[in-house]
Amino acid sequence: MKTIITTLISLSLSTGIYAQTLKVPAASSGTSITQKVGIHDVTLKYNRPNMNGRKIFGGLVPYGSVWRLGANGIPAITFEDAVSIEGHKIEAGTYGLFAIPEKDKWTIIISKKSNQWGSYSYSKEDDLLRFDVKPSTLPYAVETYTMAFENVKPAAAVLSISWDHTQVQLHMTVDQKAEIMASIDSAMATEKKPYMQAAQYYYDNNIDAKKALEWINEMDKAQPNVFYIKYWKAKMQLKAGDKAGAIASSKESIELAKKDNIQEYINLNNEFLKQAGK
């Protein structure tokens, strides 16, 4: 009997050891993606099941029921700064994601609870907000469940949710202009003034074309033989109404790019000259 007990104990211990060291692929792989929207990060952690020949919506994922938007634990999304999703403002923090899929609409649920296995213990009391979006039909099947940031712009992005032939898009915007403008003003008061970055921000956001040109001119004075500075100078001259100057700067940029064998900027300038010539 003593021998049997000893053997059982040994087996139990060895099983525990193997369980701790065993590494096998997960049925639904986990991933984490971070996307900068504006000047702050949005981080998403979620798990990715596969179709594996199954009917997904209306099958594996029933219509009309709360779904965890993936597999295993619910997706957790972290906003470094306040954002708006489909027009609904959400403060900085970490939240969980659920949905109630239907054929013609999905109800997206932003939950105050971000650490939960599945939707089994979901409670409406934990909802931060709910809103409806319309799904679209993809012309191809997405085998592995995918959440991705797309159409990323300086103050906006789209969070897409795709599986099988279905896709849902959540439009996200940020309002960071006041913070960025204050940062520019502060940086411009220092010895090393960020002329290039400030000029580009003003140009991209249509704030003050003349001020943007003034700053890029300062950059051009300091570094008169840089192809990309000449290119941006040309763009800002055109926006400020100096078409002849813009064409001249662009041609200078081409010659400088040729010396450095930078085909990308040769192409960019050629496209610019076509637009400027119209």
Q: What is the DSSP string of 17-43?
A: HHHHH-----SSEEEEEEEEETTEEEE
Residues 55 and 154 placed together within one structural domain of the fold: yes
Asked whether residue 30 falls in the same domain as residue 52, the answer is yes
23 pLDDT band, cuts 50/70/90, is confident
Residue pair 170/85 in contact by the 8 Å Cβ criterion = yes
Average pLDDT over residues 229-238: 96
Residue located via tokens 């934990």: 126
Q: pLDDT at residue 15 above 80? A: no
The mean pLDDT value for 133-159 works out to 95
Indicate the pLDDT class of residue 22, thresholds 50, 70 and 90: confident
CA–CA distance, 36 with 45 (Å, rounded to integer): 15
Question: Is residue 234, in this structure, part of any structural domain at all?
Answer: yes
pLDDT (tens digit, 9 = 90+) per residue, 77-133?
Answer: 999 999 999 999 999 999 999 999 999 999 999 999 888 776 777 889 999 999 999
Q: Is residue 71 helix, strand or coil?
A: coil
Cβ contact 253:240 at 8 Å: no
For residues 37 and 120, state if they share a domain.
yes
Specify the CATH number for the domain of residue 203: 1.25.40.10
Q: Is the pLDDT of residue 16 over 70?
A: no
Task: Give residues with Cβ within 8 angstroms of 83, minimum separation 6.
Answer: 37, 42, 89, 90, 172, 173, 174
Q: Which two tokens stand for residue 191?
A: 């010895």
CB atoms within 10 A of CB 49: 20
CA angle 223, 226, 227 (to 5 degrees): 150
When pLDDT is averaged across residues 143-153 and rounded to a whole number, the result is: 95
Q: Alpha helices, DSSP H only, in the chain?
A: 2-21, 177-188, 195-204, 209-222, 227-239, 243-259, 263-276
pTM: 0.76
DSSP state of 159: E
Both tokens of 94, joined, read 């970490």
Contact present, 105 and 86 (Cβ < 8 Å): no
Read out DSSP for 124-136? Answer: GGGEEEEEEE--E
Q: Are residues 33 and 169 in the same domain?
A: yes
- The pLDDT tens digits for 202-233 are 998 889 999 999 999 999 999 999 999 999 99
Domain residue limits at 241:
177-276
> Is the CB of residue 242 less than 8 Å from the CB of residue 215?
no
Least confident of 20-34, 208-222, 244-258: 20-34
Cross-strand bridge partners of residue 171: 158
Which of the four pLDDT bands, split at 50, 70 and 90, describes residue 250? Answer: very high
* 133 in any annotated domain: yes
> 């789209």: which residue's tokens?
158
Is 211 among the domain residues? yes
Same domain, 110 and 182: no
Do 79 and 216 sit in the same domain of this protein? no
In this structure, are 48 and 162 located in the same domain? yes
Count of domains forming the chain: 2
Token pair 């470094």 is at which residue?
80
Determine the residue type at 226: V
55 & 148 share domain? yes
* Residue whose C-alpha is closest to residue 97's, from 82, 85, 81, 80: 85
Compute how many other C-beta atoms are within 10 angstroms of the C-beta atom of residue 114: 19
Whole-number mean pLDDT of the chain?
89
Using the 3D structure, point to which of 173, 199, 214 is the last residue of a domain.
Answer: 173
Q: Tell me, what's the pLDDT at 5? A: 44
- Return all residues near 17 (Cβ < 8 A) that are at least 6 apart: none
